[in-house]
Amino acid sequence: MDSGTTAWMLTASALVFFMTPGLAFFYGGLVRAKNLVNTIMYSFISICVVSIVWVLWGYSLAFGEGNNFVGDFSMVGLNGIALFAAEGDAYPPLVDVIFQMMFAIITPALITGALVERFKFSTYLIFLVIWSTVIYSPVTHWVWGGGWISDMGALDFAGGTVIHINAGIAAVAAAMLVGKRRNPGLQPNNVPYVVLGAAILWLGWFGFNAGSALAADSYAVNAFLVTNVAAATAGLTWGLISMIKTGKMGAVGVATGAVAGLVAITPAAGAVDAMGALAIGFGAGLICFFAVELIHKTGMDDALDVFAVHGIGGIWGCLATGIFTVSALAGVDGLLGGSAKQLGIQAISAFGTLAYSGIATFIILFILDKIPGLGLRESEADEDQGLDLATHGEQGSVNDGAN
């Protein structure tokens, strides 16, 4: 066992863990003050629910041998996974369970941006269990567990398809089925929370991408660098477009742009250099900015722009990986290296994920909506009052002097 590798992987896992509370603040700041606690809880409770699902059967379904589409139940309850590293292993096998658990936690939390301010909390708890079992674990198996996407040779270093395209398209299904908010707000309730959340996500993403090297090596170092370059470029690009369009550079726009850059560099972090990251970040800022504008015109209420940022950003990153791949890093040439083959493979992997996750999420939510006692929406009265008090009996902050 290599203690350096093990120490880095535990650190990276903790960084990825911290992304979910960061997301809670990112989303929490964007909604209205009466739904702040509720929005934070959507993310926070995912930590509690998915951690349990993961050790019981989620890991086994994702990483069990199984077939091309899904793992198996051979490691239910982490059965058979050795506690100690075997001779020649860089780290104990439980490191994989821990690191991957953090990805499983944040993915369904990402979806909640589409359904905030109206989705029924009790149904959400059940949705979390079903979605991570039926969608997250199989798609993870496709990409990292020996499934058809990895067989095909698609490059997805840190989870552009598994996490971002997957969550992005699930968000579309959720927004369509739950319907529009009665009175969407005009302004975020707390811009500093949005920036704080984005900063925590950015920090955590170093663990997400550099940790995906599964070693403390040159790939990890390059992934760290390109992650930062892409996020910075996308944030600046978004801010400048906004400044040209409205005369002002808002913090929410720059924070959103940075997140879009992080999404886009995720699949490419092991395959591009810093100059490729500049291009990917610029593309993410530009494409996702106009995706937000366009999707708002469709009338679909993806409240916090999950599809525009994670879906479109993820697709851009997936394709850009096929364009800017440097053969010295990935062993294959991208479009700029003269080969269109990788771009085609990337497109198929994105399409497969979009189709499966979009349709399966739609079916899950459609069924949950029909089950008596469940349903997807809180009552109109609760929505108007705000879900903090109605659902949780709490308020984000109490400003009267009563005690």
Partner 1 sequence: MLKIEAIFRPERVSAVAESLLAAGVTGFHYQNVTGQGQQKGVEVVTGRGGQTTTRSASSKTLLVTVISNDKKDAVVEAIVSASRTGEIGDGKIFVTEISDTIRVRTGEAGESAI
> Which residue ranges make up the site for partner 1 (CB under 8 A)?
186-187, 238-239, 241-242, 245-250, 252-254, 256, 289, 292-293, 296, 305
**Minimum distance of partner 1 from residue 164's CB (angstroms):** 17
Q: Bridge-partner residues for 119, per DSSP?
A: 377
- Nearest CB to partner 1, comparing residues 41 and 252: 252
**Minimum distance of partner 1 from residue 257's CB (angstroms):** 8
Return the H-helix or E-strand segment holding 210. helix 191-210
Q: Bridge-partner residues for 66, per DSSP?
A: none
Q: List CB contacts of 297: < 8 A, sequence separation 6 or more.
A: none
- Nearest CB to partner 1, comparing residues 152 and 191: 191
Residue identified by tokens 């972090």 is 269
CA 69 to chain CA centroid, nearest Å: 21
Residue identified by tokens 């075997």 is 86
Say if CB 116 and CB 42 are below 8 A apart. yes
**Minimum distance of partner 1 from residue 303's CB (angstroms):** 11
Six-digit token pair at 181?
């908010």
- Nearest CB to partner 1, comparing residues 173 and 254: 254
Cα–Cα dist 124/63, whole Å: 25
Cα–Cα dist 326/148, whole Å: 23
- Nearest CB to partner 1, comparing residues 123 and 190: 190
- Nearest CB to partner 1, comparing residues 65 and 293: 293
Q: Burial code of 339-378, b = ≥16 C-beta within 10 A, e = fewer?
A: eeebbebbeebbebbbebbbebbbebbeebeeeeeebbbb
The CA distances from residue 109 to 49, 224, 303, in Å, are 11, 24, 14
Quick one: which of 346, 328, 335, 234 has its CA closest to 280? 234
**Minimum distance of partner 1 from residue 233's CB (angstroms):** 16
Q: List CB contacts of 40: < 8 A, sequence separation 6 or more.
A: 24, 25, 27, 28
**Minimum distance of partner 1 from residue 309's CB (angstroms):** 8
- Nearest CB to partner 1, comparing residues 159 and 285: 285
- Nearest CB to partner 1, comparing residues 21 and 239: 239
- Nearest CB to partner 1, comparing residues 39 and 140: 39
**Minimum distance of partner 1 from residue 268's CB (angstroms):** 23
| Gap between the terminal Cα atoms of the chain | 56
